[in-house]
Amino acid sequence: MSLGVVILAAGKGTRMRSALPKVLHPLAGRPLLRHVLDAAEALGAARICVVYGHGGELVPGAFADAAYAWVEQAERLGTGHAVQQALPAMTGVERVLVLYGDVPLIEAETLNRLVADSAETALGLLTMTLDDPTGYGRILRAGDGRVLRIVEHRDATDAERAITEVNSGIIVAERDRLADWLGRIRNDNVQREYYLTDVIGLATGEGVDVVTAQPERLEEVAGINDRIQLAQLERYHQRRRAECLMRRGTSIMDPARIDIRGTLECGRDVVLDVNLICEGRVRIGASARIGPNCLLKDCEIGPGAEVLPNSIIEGARVGAGARIGPFARLRPEADIGRDCHIGNFVEIKKAQIAEGSKVNHLTYIGDAEIGRGVNVGAGTITCNYDGAYKHPTIIGDDAFIGSNAALVAPVEIGPGASIGAGSVIVKDAPAGQLTLARSRQVTIEGWQRPRKK
Ligand code: UD1
Ligand code: CA
């Protein structure tokens, strides 16, 4: 049976106190609404429609590349009214599931269960039981347990307020019947709003059996109204991801101090020290170790590699057994071979460094191709930019670059060549020989310092 998903996202988000619409605030590095859209996609929804309002075109603009329907709810007249605005976009679907742009951690598994459990009836409802149900719509049931209707907190009597089973807001309904019920709800309540929840009473009045399901964890249905709740849900979400990694064989020194904003895949026995931030797609091979305070973005760390503290690796690849840092910065297209050592205060951009080479201290390597077993001395700089163009530096296997050399590109250092410390190399240096490009040291005999008379 084909399913359509309506996501309500027209709320003002006043308590965020932000210029950014609430549903665009990030959780795990991605907009809240993105999480909900992903859940809808995971269900295989035939149509997805987002009802937006506050923030204008910023909201649809943030997801312009995908084929969702966007409906603007100019006036916020209630959840029932909001769903009604989306129904014309729900063509060719038999059932409609209602989700919320500010309830980001709802899991497709829970939704699938709700949709499956209620397949035989016109209405399914996700409910939960809370110690403190204040503010929520209460589920009223008959003596035999059948759902009768929902009463909103503000419209409820004291006796009804004592009920602890509440409405999560998530419902699934037959599209055509939902359209009919929504056409009949009224706004004669305390908030003068058209309540989606009034549909329940109309349905049961027609003899519809309402099926309920519960989420496995309450955080799945937690809505975000302010930045405190956002931060709490972020920590919850990160904790879950950390636990998932630990279950699969990764050691995490402190699961409260890791942030995965994208995907992180780890081989067995990877060790992650504190304050790691991962962005985009990160893969870490078996037994690799990541030291404290590292930022890894869209990169691949080979098995057994070691990233020492305070290193930043972005768009780069690190070979097996290599050692990076502390305080190293690998920029896009840095490709570090197996067993290489890249040391402190070394920056590498768009450069291939082959197996076993060492660049240990205070160096910039850009637009370069470095062979195997090369030793690049402290303070070496590839002068790759002439102010208009970038030029390549090529260094052959087993070359030795003395400290503080400036390699003015384009330039090639032959295999086995040695470059004297402090040289400014502007021409190719031949293989196997020592090349120096610096003034000779002289001592002036009998020279005396000037002295005051
Ligand atoms: C709603 C439910 C309540 C449930 C609670 C769970 C109704 C009437 N009540 O109450 O039973 O326990 O959620 O959190 O549905 N929205 C729009 N357009 C509107 C109104 C709301 O897009 O015109 C969106 C809001 O952005 C928000 C969501 O719908 O994300 C819920 O609306 P809100 O008014 O906050 O409903 P609650 O009072 O929380
Ligand atoms: Ca709410």
The answer to whether position 450 is within a domain reads no
Do residues 213 and 255 share a domain?
Answer: no
The answer to whether position 398 is within a domain reads yes
Nearest to 102 by CA among 280, 270, 229: 229
Do residues 419 and 390 share a domain?
Answer: yes
Ligand 1: does its nearest atom lie under 6 Å from the Cβ of 76?
yes
Q: Count of domains in the chain? A: 2
pLDDT of residue 56: 77
Q: How many whole angstroms separate alpha carbon 440 and alpha carbon 420?
A: 11
Q: Which helix (H) or strand (E) holds 352?
A: strand 341-353
Residue-level length of the chain? 453
Ligand 1: does its nearest atom lie under 6 Å from the Cβ of 4?
no
Do residues 26 and 93 share a domain?
Answer: yes
pLDDT of residue 12: 83
CA of 100 to the centre of ligand 1 (A): 8
Do residues 97 and 152 share a domain?
Answer: yes
In order along its 453 residues, the chain shows pLDDT tens digits of: 799 999 999 988 999 999 999 999 999 999 999 999 999 999 999 999 999 996 678 999 999 888 999 999 999 999 999 999 999 999 999 999 999 999 999 999 999 999 999 999 999 999 999 999 999 999 999 999 999 999 999 999 999 999 999 999 999 999 999 999 999 999 999 999 999 999 999 999 999 999 999 999 999 999 999 999 999 999 999 999 999 999 999 999 999 999 999 999 999 999 999 999 999 999 999 999 999 999 999 999 999 999 999 999 999 999 999 999 999 999 999 999 999 999 999 999 999 999 999 999 999 999 999 999 999 999 999 999 999 999 999 999 999 999 999 999 999 999 999 999 999 999 999 999 999 999 999 999 999 999 999
Is residue 23 within 8 A of residue 101, CB to CB? The reply is yes
Q: Whose CA is nearest to atom 35 of ligand 1?
A: 11
Dihedral angle over CA of 227, 232, 238, 240, nearest 10: -140
Q: Whose CA is nearest to atom 25 of ligand 1?
A: 11
Q: Which helix (H) or strand (E) holds 81?
A: helix 79-86
Q: Which of 22, 24, 33, 79 to mutate to test the pocket of ligand 1 (most atoms within 8 A of CB)?
A: 79
Nearest to 271 by CA among 262, 284, 256: 284
Report how far apart the first and last C-alpha atoms of the chain are (Å, whole number): 104
Among the bound ligands, name the one nearest to the CA of residue 187. 1
Ligand 1: does its nearest atom lie under 6 Å from the Cβ of 196?
yes
pLDDT of residue 65: 84
Q: And the tokens for 70?
A: 């966007």
Which residue stretches of 184-294 are H helix?
A: 198-205, 227-247
Q: How many whole angstroms separate alpha carbon 183 and alpha carbon 220?
A: 30
Ligand 1: does its nearest atom lie under 6 Å from the Cβ of 100?
yes
The answer to whether position 333 is within a domain reads yes
Q: How many whole angstroms separate alpha carbon 196 and alpha carbon 171?
A: 9
Among 173, 195, 221, the domain-final residue is 221
Angle at 246 (CA atoms; ends 241, 247), nearest 5 degrees: 100
Backbone angles phi, psi at 132, to 5 degrees: -120, 100
The answer to whether position 217 is within a domain reads yes
The answer to whether position 226 is within a domain reads no
Q: How many whole angstroms separate alpha carbon 208 and alpha carbon 181?
A: 12
Do residues 298 and 333 share a domain?
Answer: yes
Among 191, 221, 251, the domain-final residue is 221
Do residues 298 and 197 share a domain?
Answer: no
CATH number for 172: 3.90.550.10
Do residues 8 and 96 share a domain?
Answer: yes
CA of 222 to the centre of ligand 2 (A): 10
The answer to whether position 261 is within a domain reads yes
Is residue 98 within 8 A of residue 83, CB to CB? The reply is yes
Among 161, 188, 221, the domain-final residue is 221
pLDDT of residue 1: 75
CA of 366 to the centre of ligand 1 (A): 54
Structural domain of 188: 3-221
CA of 228 to the centre of ligand 2 (A): 15
Ligand 1: does its nearest atom lie under 6 Å from the Cβ of 170?
no
Do residues 199 and 316 share a domain?
Answer: no
Do residues 70 and 208 share a domain?
Answer: yes
Ligand 1: does its nearest atom lie under 6 Å from the Cβ of 223?
yes
CA of 24 to the centre of ligand 1 (A): 18
CATH number for 424: 2.160.10.10
pLDDT of residue 308: 98
Do residues 35 and 136 share a domain?
Answer: yes
Which atom belonging to ligand 1 lies closest to the Cα atom of 81?
23
Do residues 252 and 208 share a domain?
Answer: no
CA of 8 to the centre of ligand 1 (A): 8
The answer to whether position 453 is within a domain reads no
Three-state secondary structure call for residue 289: strand
Ligand 1: does its nearest atom lie under 6 Å from the Cβ of 133?
no
* DSSP track, 144-168: TS-EEEEE-GGG--HHHHT--EEEE
Q: How many whole angstroms separate alpha carbon 242 and alpha carbon 322?
A: 25
Backbone angles phi, psi at 97, to 5 degrees: -110, 130
Q: How many whole angstroms separate alpha carbon 73 and alpha carbon 11?
A: 10
For 429, residues 6+ apart whose C-beta sits below 8 A from its C-beta are 411, 412, 413, 414, 417, 419, 435
Among the bound ligands, name the one nearest to the CA of residue 138. 1
Do residues 188 and 136 share a domain?
Answer: yes
Among the bound ligands, name the one nearest to the CA of residue 170. 1
The answer to whether position 449 is within a domain reads no
pTM of the model: 0.94
Catalytic positions: 361
Ligand 1: does its nearest atom lie under 6 Å from the Cβ of 51?
yes
